[in-house]
Amino acid sequence: MKKQLFIWLSALIVQVTTLHAQVSDMIFSYQMGTYNEISGGTVLGDASTDDQRFVDPTIPLGGTTNTGIGLPIGFTFHFNGYDFDRFAINANGWISLGTSSLTPSVDINSTSSYTPISSTATNTPSYLRSRIAALGRNLGGQTGSELSYLTIGTAPNRVLVVQWKNYRKYGAAGDSYNFQIRLYETTNVVEIVYGTMTNNTTSGTTQVGLGGSTATDFNIRTTTTDWAATTTGTTNAATCTISSTVFPASGSIFRWTPSSCSSPTLLTVSNVSSTSAQLNWTSTNSEFQLEYGTQGFTLGTGTRISNINTTTYQLTGLTPTTNYQVYVRAICGVGDTSTWASLSFTTPCNEITAFPWLEDFSGSTFPPNCWMRGQGQLAVNTTFTSTTTSSWVADGFANNSTTGAARINIYSTNKFEWLIV
């Protein structure tokens, strides 16, 4: 039987996307101001409130249901790359955001109500996970406590204020926590403002910060000694200590401001070989950061390259026949970064020197990488498509054992079978 070698060149697969803004890109600042308590508004829960979720204004005492029509923000608030006009409250010091365009509009599901930023629960759709924690821990009401919300001001400068008054650690005597979450129309700024914070002799920890669509997108604060000098948490489980000596002073403001740094555009890849690729993008900024890894990797776990001062970069040391994901963002200042632009591509097979060359088909998969099999007669200029229905299978050479060669039975007429590299 005559044997022929067919060489099949596969097309490069490229996909480019620009990510939605991430909460990790928001810029944190701390300042001292004045705590302005609201009065009136919509009151939720009562002195016995414990672990309730508030997802429906017609059920002011709340319950254990995680989804509902949501409470009205009073305006459109842009956060985490999406527009929200509804929110839900968890009595344990935090809120999540939602939209009236969905049914249900809010989904405040969390693996723990006490550690909302590190939740790995599934929210549907994922952007309904967007949340803000002012004092995320096991809290409860007591005599004289009140949970309420009110939209104040006039368009386009309205502010949603969600207020916890005289709350405490669950079942604790001697605590009195007063704090607010504030969402600002137009600027889309998030503030957490603390009033008088009295803690008994029992210390604890709390989560303070922002959570995005996934558990890996977070902007969280941490301290064990000083709420006026918190630092950025490096994991979504980071906490702030609260005790009789470590607590936020009245008037403390934690502020997160959306970045004005513009994301790179027109991110492209070219000159892709089995081990390298050329990246290019467009931007008016002058400093960039790049991160890459195999497709599906989590940002922060890949190979990160900083201090790039051009709009082009050559990736080297890549692996053949591998799907890669690349992220590029602009650096506009200390703590001020753009959203990531993202691109994925696949490196081709290594070049093959036809003679001499050996493939012993001894790998764990058949056909091996860069090989394709197919069935049917090919017309001129037909695009070859690999399939699993071909009669080509792994076998031992001369039918000895089961690996080391490839075989096909050709006993029937009009049999068209292909094994191509």
pLDDT at residue 6, as a whole number: 40
Task: Give residue limits of the domains in the chain.
Answer: 23-257, 261-346, 372-420
Return d(Cα 190, Cα 186) in angstroms, integer: 11
Task: Convert the pLDDT of each residue in 319-338 to its tens digit.
Answer: 988 999 999 999 998 878 88
**Average pLDDT of span 95-115:** 98
Return d(Cα 179, Cα 164) in angstroms, integer: 5
Band of the pLDDT at 62, cuts 50, 70, 90?
Answer: very high
- Please count the CA atoms within 13 angstroms of the CA of 398 that sit on its side-chain side: 0
Instruction: Identify the CATH number of the domain defined by range 261-346.
Output: 2.60.40.10
pLDDT at residue 352, as a whole number: 67
**Average pLDDT of span 12-33:** 72
295 token code pair: 């497709």
- 420: which residues sit within 8 A by CB, 6+ positions away? 6, 7, 8, 371, 372, 373, 374, 384
Res. 64: pLDDT tops 60: yes
Mean pLDDT of the chain: 89
**Average pLDDT of span 385-395:** 76
From the list 87, 174, 177, 72, the residue with the least C-alpha distance to 131 is: 87
pLDDT at residue 298, as a whole number: 85
Higher model confidence: residue 251 or residue 351? 251
- 167: which residues sit within 8 A by CB, 6+ positions away? 93, 135, 139, 140, 141, 142, 145, 147, 175, 176, 177, 178
Neighbouring-strand partners of residue 407: 393
Return d(Cα 115, Cα 93) in angstroms, integer: 10
6 token code pair: 């067919």
Return d(Cα 29, Cα 22) in angstroms, integer: 17
3-state secondary structure 41-67: CEEECCCCCECCEECCCCCCCCECCCE
Res. 386: pLDDT tops 80: no
Cβ atoms < 10 Å from Cβ of 156? 9
Do the beta carbons of residue 346 and residue 324 sit within 8 Å? yes
Res. 60: pLDDT tops 50: yes
Res. 420: pLDDT tops 80: no
Res. 150: pLDDT tops 80: yes
Task: Convert the pLDDT of each residue in 261-312 to its tens digit.
Answer: 888 999 999 999 999 999 999 998 999 999 999 999 988 899 999 999 999 9
Return d(Cα 318, Cα 314) in angstroms, integer: 11
Do the beta carbons of residue 47 and residue 100 sit within 8 Å? no
Do the beta carbons of residue 305 and residue 313 sit within 8 Å? yes
Res. 91: pLDDT tops 50: yes
